[in-house]
Amino acid sequence: MVLYFSATGNTEYIAKELANRLNDKCLNLLPRIKDNDCSEIYSDTPFIICTPVYVCEMPIFFVKFLKKLRLAGNNNAYFVFTSGGYAGISACQARRITRAKKMRYLGRAEFKMPRNYIASNAYSELDFEEIRKRINDAAAKLDKVYETVKNGEKLKDRHIYLFEKIIIVPFTPVWCRFKQPSKPFAASDKCVACGKCAELCPLGNIRIVDGKPVWKTRCAHCMACISNCPTEAIEYGNITQKKFKYTFNKFKARDKKLNSENRD
Ligand SMILES: Cc1cc2nc3c(=O)[nH]c(=O)nc-3n(C[C@H](O)[C@H](O)[C@H](O)COP(=O)(O)O)c2cc1C
């Protein structure tokens, strides 16, 4: 069974494609994460746990949830990470979680996908050609991952060096605590109070007050609210204005429209 969390659709795409190829079930963990529902999930087939990478690790809230989640049936676990190109020490965390659950770790696959993080000017925006390339490369890699999982073999990926662990282990929690405030998030008059942002927030950090979203302090900066807003009413201070608020589905729809316009 494929289990996934995804804020802007990259991981959802990979998870669904894998489940499709394997003819296996696919479960979105978002409702369970929001409800802190760690009750048993049973699968006859190996578990394939898919997550984005945040600040060189698996998202902190996802790790906490996974540790408590009860998995039964098949004793094997694969992990799949989607990132903008650097998954850091996510695989070490995956191995540790699997060991604590007394399950067998069968390795991980890393997919370099379009970077969804827009709440900082430290990264240049990806151009659409690059986004398209990454999605196409991922489709090719999916076939290889599928073959490996289907044959019950181990997934192999790059070696993680000790210096990476020494830097990342103390760095990530501090960064997440102090460099990801939710205060700059705000909705403009374009907001139609649909509540989608609150619905998609994995931490339940958003409430709708007087017809507008209000952000509390627990924020993972996952970009689900800002990027999935149907009226593009949400901004992060003046950092996100004019930036393309990437979601996998939005990009695909844009590409499809462009293709059909070029054909006409
Ligand atoms: C808070 C945050 C931190 C991120 N940190 C990293 C990172 O350390 N390395 C990286 O390559 N990509 C990083 N990314 C990019 C995402 O991992 C990548 O775009 C991922 O595919 C998004 O998955 P999703 O669309 O399923 O939410 C980060 C994204 C966010 C929102």
Quick one: tokens of 237? 């201070």
CB 188 within 8 A of CB 233: yes
For the segment 197-224, the average pLDDT, to the nearest whole number, is 96
- What's the CA gap between 19 and 40, in Å, rounded? 20
Residue 57 confidence class, pLDDT cut points 50, 70, 90: very high
pLDDT higher than threshold 90 for residue 4: yes
Domain at 2-165: CATH code: 3.40.50
For the segment 248-264, the average pLDDT, to the nearest whole number, is 88
Question: What is the share, in percent, of the chain residues with pLDDT greater than 90?
Answer: 91
Ranges in the chain annotated CATH 3.40.50 = 2-165
Ligand 1 atom closest to the Cα of residue 247 is: 25
223 CB within 6 A, ligand 1:
yes
* pTM, two decimal places: 0.97
Ligand 1 atom closest to the Cα of residue 246 is: 25
The string over 145-165, giving b where at least 16 C-beta atoms fall within 10 Å of a residue's C-beta and e elsewhere, is: bbebbeeeeebeeeebeeeee
Residue 124 confidence class, pLDDT cut points 50, 70, 90: confident
83, 135, 244, best to mutate for ligand 1 pocket (most atoms within 8 Å of CB): 83
Quick one: tokens of 65? 């949830």
Q: How far is the CA of 115 from the centre of ligand 1 (A)?
A: 6
- What's the CA gap between 131 and 112, in Å, rounded? 10
- What's the CA gap between 263 and 203, in Å, rounded? 43
pLDDT higher than threshold 90 for residue 126: no
For the segment 10-28, the average pLDDT, to the nearest whole number, is 98
For the segment 91-111, the average pLDDT, to the nearest whole number, is 97
Per CATH, domain 180-263 is 3.40.50.1820: no
SS (H, E, C) the chain: CEEECCCCCHHHHHHHHHHHHHCCCEEECHHHHHHCCCCCEEECCCEEEEEECECCECCHHHHHHHHHCCEEECCEEEEEEEECCCCCCHHHHHHHHHHHCCCEEEEEEEEECCCCCCCCCCCCCCCHHHHHHHHHHHHHHHHHHHHHHHCCCCECCCCCCHHHHHHHHHHHHHHHHHCCCCCCEEECCCCCCCCHHHHHCCCCCEEEECCEEEECCCCCCCCHHHHHCCCCCEEECCCCCCCCCCCHHHHHHHHHHHHHHHHC
Q: What is the pLDDT of residue 258?
A: 86
For the segment 168-174, the average pLDDT, to the nearest whole number, is 94
Ligand 1 atom closest to the Cα of residue 180 is: 1
Ranges in the chain annotated CATH 3.30.70.20 = 180-263
pLDDT higher than threshold 90 for residue 125: no
- What's the CA gap between 212 and 75, in Å, rounded? 45
* Positive or negative torsion for Cα 174, 158, 101, 19: positive
pLDDT higher than threshold 90 for residue 14: yes
Q: What is the pLDDT of residue 114?
A: 97
Give strand pairing partners of 166: none
8 CB within 6 A, ligand 1:
yes
Nearest to 27 by CA among 84, 261, 213, 43: 43
pLDDT higher than threshold 90 for residue 264: no
Q: How far is the CA of 82 from the centre of ligand 1 (A)?
A: 7
pLDDT higher than threshold 80 for residue 174: yes
18, 54, 158, 221, best to mutate for ligand 1 pocket (most atoms within 8 Å of CB): 54
Phi, psi for residue 147 in degrees, rounded to 5:
-60, -45
Residue 262 confidence class, pLDDT cut points 50, 70, 90: confident
Q: How far is the CA of 225 from the centre of ligand 1 (A)?
A: 15
